[in-house]
Amino acid sequence: MDDADHIEVPVGPAAAWRNTTHDWAGSVDTGHLSRIRADAAAFAPGGLRHLVLEVVAYAADEAESRGRGRCTVTLHADGSVSVADDGRGTDTRFDDAGRPVRKPVMATKDLRFFDHPEPPPLPDGHPRRGMSVVAALSAWLVHTNRRAGGAWTQRYEYGVPATGLTPVADDGTTGTLVHFRPAEPLPAPGGPDGPGTPGGPRGPASAGTAAWAGSWPYLSVEVDDRRTGVSRPRPRPPRAGRSG
């Protein structure tokens, strides 16, 4: 089957579940992922920094729904990045056979943004498209979510699941961890030697994310740069707000 026509549909009641951000009826849309990979410059115009902001935006959504939240962005020595939050964990439900089904945030389009004629901008000024952009442009991505009813992890390669949804031990916390490594160097503002260069002294994920953390008033963000051992916390606490 051609990738453009390949949408995996899970067995069970997912087709009847109410769609908010993603379509529960489809678990993997390879045509959507291929479209992103075919035009990385359009979907990740800020390079690594933009991908990090795409992930942090979901943590900000969760923080706003709860009135406050925390998020840590870690830059690892191997070139990968992880984003961990203390929210409720990615929505995961159970089908008629009792099998967990996680909202397909990595492998299908975000219904709010992707095909919208005027999607909201991220703090870098570029359109928000959704988590699938990060997954599609990553050689690998591991998505771990901890909820009150269980915890699971799954590995993706170029946005396509490489493993099943695997249970992990409950550690008493809730939240979501997204750990990814971009497949190849992405375009960055300032050219190859400019301030947007990944890994440079003012790399985009560290300097940019820390500087723009204030764009999300309900979210407290810390950037832990393990390439240099420098941590960049945002001391300003999140503004009190409504709870979801």
Catalytically active residues, by annotation: 54
Question: Would residue 66 be called left, alpha or beta, if left means φ above 0 and alpha means ψ between -120 and 50 degrees?
Answer: alpha
Alpha-carbon distance 7 to 196, whole Å? 36
Sort strands 69-75 and 219-225 into parallel, antiparallel or unpaired. Answer: parallel
Alpha-carbon distance 12 to 213, whole Å? 40
Cβ atoms of 125 and 138 within 8 Å: the answer is no
Alpha-carbon distance 44 to 158, whole Å? 14
Alpha-carbon distance 17 to 23, whole Å? 9
Identity of the amino acid at 106: M
Alpha-carbon distance 217 to 63, whole Å? 9
Is the Cα dihedral 154, 155, 157, 161 positive or negative? Answer: negative
